[in-house]
């Protein structure tokens, strides 16, 4: 059994590829809310870049790409 060497993987290269792929992929923002509406539902007024953690205002800062780090933001709602 000498074919074991074909299974050797360079973990460092793999990690670099993974990071590069992550950056190109749109990510959903995280949301944060500090108030409630009349029905007791939380109102999300802040969204947070999933890549760098920068906070933005919902309804005002609707960037397709985070201005700070360039992360593409996925605004699709899965309903």
Please give the sequence-ordered ranges of beta strands (E in DSSP) within 10-64, or none if there are none.
30-36, 42-48, 55-57
Q: Which is nearer to Zn ion, 47 or 49 (CB)?
A: 49
Binding track over 11-50 against Zn ion, x by CB under 5 A: --------------------------------------x-
SS3 36: strand
Instruction: Find the shortest distance in angstroms from Cβ 16 to Zn ion.
Output: 20
Residue 26, judged by CB atoms within 10 A of its CB (0-12, 13-18, 19+), counts as: middle
C-alpha to C-alpha distance for 48 and 25, rounded to whole angstroms: 16
Q: Contact between 52 and Zn ion (CB under 5 A)?
A: yes
Instruction: Find the shortest distance in angstroms from Cβ 32 to Zn ion.
Output: 15
Which residues sit at the interface with Zn ion, rule CB under 5 A?
A: 49, 51-52, 54, 66, 68-69, 71
């Amino acid at each position: 059994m000498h074919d074991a060497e074909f299974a050797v993987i360079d973990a460092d290269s793999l990690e670099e590829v993974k990071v590069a792929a992550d950056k190109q992929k749109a990510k959903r923002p995280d949301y944060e809310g500090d108030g409630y509406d009349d029905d007791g539902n939380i109102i999300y007024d802040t969204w947070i870049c999933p890549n760098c953690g920068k906070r933005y205002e919902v309804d005002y800062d609707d960037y397709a790409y985070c201005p700070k780090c360039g992360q593409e933001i996925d605004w699709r709602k899965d309903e």
